[in-house]
Amino acid sequence: MEIYVKSRGFSQEEGYCWLPETPSILTLNRVADCIQTESPSLVLGRYSGRLLLLITGLEARGRTDFRDRAIRNSIAWVAEDSAANEQQLRALAIRALRTFLEEKQDGLDAEIDQAIPLGGPDGFTVNWELLKGLSSSATLSSQPQKSDREREEHSTDKLAKNCDRTKETLATQLEYYGLPQREGPLVVVTGIKSKDSLIQARVWRGLSKSLEEEDWTPVRERQDALNSSEEPFQSGKKLNETATLVAGIVAIGMLFLGLLWF
């Protein structure tokens, strides 16, 4: 499993950068477009046979930049798509969600921050062994099998407002269920991001502070309603086009007969 960290140092020259390098999975798939990166955010997805967990906007403890602004850390885990790796990343995502929810002093953000001390040519260094230990300790207990109805309900894409209750229910869902077998940003939790952008990204579970519904709302129902409202219009349009074509053919035929008559 690969680990990448983004942070910055104190001085103006020590701006934000990724170590050991910018993960290509982020740039190739424009993952940051799904979230408000400066806000505590999370993306869990699958891209070209690889799994990604990206967590951004984690405020560093006691570290500020040259303008006295809080430094925010980001971390990305990238792994081959396997059941074991998915379970590990889901466990880390659950910890992140509950850290966002409870704001504990010893939460996941604090453990990550401990692994990013000041120093080095970039203004910060990374304790990779500490982060590897954090990753390997993330596990999920086995859960009971769900009914067919519950599995069907689970498979439907849903969106909701980013609030404490929905973050907790999302954490519970990630404990009980695996990710859908498709590509893209499957789980997105962020600050300001429009409903349309989450739908367009085909997010399976999406939380945004821009949304108004505090209950999980199925995306499929909204799409079906939109499609059904368009069908009468499309049918009428086709009928009008057919009628226009027939009228045109009749008019040409009458004109031809008139020329023969004279």
What is the domain count for the chain? 1
- Which of the residue ranges 51-55, 123-127, 235-239, 244-248 would you say has the lowest mean pLDDT? 235-239
User: In the prediction, which pLDDT does 3 show?
Assistant: 98
CA distances (Å), origin 122, targets 20, 21, 67: 11, 12, 17
Q: Is residue 18 part of a domain?
A: yes
Strand 50-64 with 70-80, pairing: antiparallel
Gyration radius from the chain CA atoms: 26
Three-class SS string for 108-138?
Answer: HHHHHHHCCCECCCCCECCCHHHHHHHHHCC
- Which of the residue ranges 74-83, 103-112, 155-164, 196-205 would you say has the lowest mean pLDDT? 103-112
Could you tell me where the DSSP H helices lie in the chain?
Answer: 24-29, 83-102, 108-114, 128-136, 148-155, 164-176, 195-200, 219-261
Q: What's the CA gap between 218 and 142, in Å, rounded?
A: 27
What is the CB neighbour count within 10 angstroms for residue 256? 10
Q: Is residue 128 part of a domain?
A: yes
Q: Is residue 251 part of a domain?
A: no
Q: Is residue 65 part of a domain?
A: yes
Q: Quick one: pLDDT band at residue 141, thresholds 50, 70, 90? A: confident
User: In the prediction, which pLDDT does 221 show?
Assistant: 53
Q: Is residue 258 part of a domain?
A: no
CA pseudo-torsion sign 169, 172, 178, 183: positive
Q: What's the CA gap between 158 and 220, in Å, rounded?
A: 8
Query: Residue 71: which region, alpha, beta or left (left: phi > 0; alpha: psi -120 to 50)?
Result: beta
Q: Is residue 241 part of a domain?
A: no
Q: Is residue 111 part of a domain?
A: yes
Q: Is residue 262 part of a domain?
A: no
Domain of residue 44, residue span: 2-221
